[in-house]
Amino acid sequence: MSPFYRSTADLFAELNRMQTMLDRVFPSPGASIRSQAGAGFPVLNVGSSPNSIEVQALAPGLDPAKLEITIDRGLLVIAGERRSELPPADERASVYASERFAGRFRRVVSLPEDADPARVEASYRDGVLRVSVAKRESSLPRRIEVN
Amino acid sequence: MSNAVQTASAAGRAPANAAPSDNAPQAFVVPPVDVYENENAITLLADLPGVARDQLNLRVDGDTLVIEASASTASTPADMQLVYGELQCASYRRQFTLSRELDASRIEAQLRDGVLRLTIPKAEEARPRRIQVQAA
């Protein structure tokens, strides 16, 4: 199993997820101005390995050439647009379900201090965007020899 | 006609933790869908990010259409610690009830960039026909 998918994830991540679910069912009037309940497209998972920070965005149905991925002052921004694939209203068709996200999106991940913005790799496969940001050499764990 | 799809979406909104019929309860995600109908067919689009073609299992059992899929987890480094996670469940499941005028034997499925597009044609006799009035 990949750590992205482990069932007993970090407690805070789990609480975060539950909060998001609750917010979706019972929208709270006094939510923080920065909280974005339900505005989760693409869904993000962030992981950290000894050599890199891995960001996984579940973003199906996008053209990878039109994705805008930028890193500016420690913020990784993933932005783009997903067009609705439903037929236009004037066509002779009836729409029964429209649950898939459509429109512009923008999500921001704050990278840790030791992320190296010069070494970033991004790939898009089967609707999943993976961005891997390497950690600076100086922050990697090092073994110190005792003379 | 519209009854068919309404029952379909009602079935699809079954609680996400409902147990699959065969084995022990297992967590899965109910994928969001778009469904629309025109004169010839019903089209269903489902978001299944991370699913490759061989991990998608589509089946029609009687009048029930079942979509089951699992996301591949291969390309993540093994020594990674999750820092922030919004969705860790890697399997998808949703089912719909098809109505009789749909031709389940001619369903076409396409999977591209994590989006499944199903086209379910209507049976020939269920399509709207224009009846010509003959001059007497």
DSSP string spanning A94-130? EEEEE-S--EEEEEEEEPPTTEEEEEEEEEEETTEEE
With a CB cutoff of 8 Å and minimum separation 6, the contacts of B50 are A58, A126, A127, A128, B71, B72, B73, B90, B114
Return the residue matching tokens 């079942």: B66
Q: What is the value of ipTM here, to two decimals?
A: 0.70
What's the mean pLDDT when you consider all of chain B? 78
Report percent pLDDT > 90 for chain A.
27
CA B118 to chain centre: 7
Nearest to B80 among A3, A20, A93 (CB): A3
pLDDT of residue A25 exceeding 60: yes
CATH classification of the domain holding B66: 2.60.40.790
Q: Which tokens belong to A93?
A: 């068709």
Q: Do B88 and A6 meet the contact criterion of CB atoms below 8 Å apart?
A: yes
Rounded to whole angstroms, the Cα distance separating B59 from B47 reads 17
For residue B78, being part of any structural domain is answered with: no
For residue B134, being part of any structural domain is answered with: no
A117 CA: distance to closest CA in chain B (Å): 19
Q: Where are the domains of chain A?
A: 1-35, 40-137
Q: Does CATH number 2.60.40.790 belong to domain A40-137?
A: yes
For residue B96, being part of any structural domain is answered with: yes
Q: Do B37 and A52 touch (CB under 8 A)?
A: no
More confident of the two residues B109 and B6:
B109
Q: Which of B91, B30, B84 shows the shortest CA–CA distance to A16?
A: B84
Q: Do B16 and B81 meet the contact criterion of CB atoms below 8 Å apart?
A: no
The model's pTM is 0.71
For residue B51, being part of any structural domain is answered with: yes
Domain that holds residue B103: 2-14+27-72+85-125
Q: Do A3 and B83 touch (CB under 8 A)?
A: no
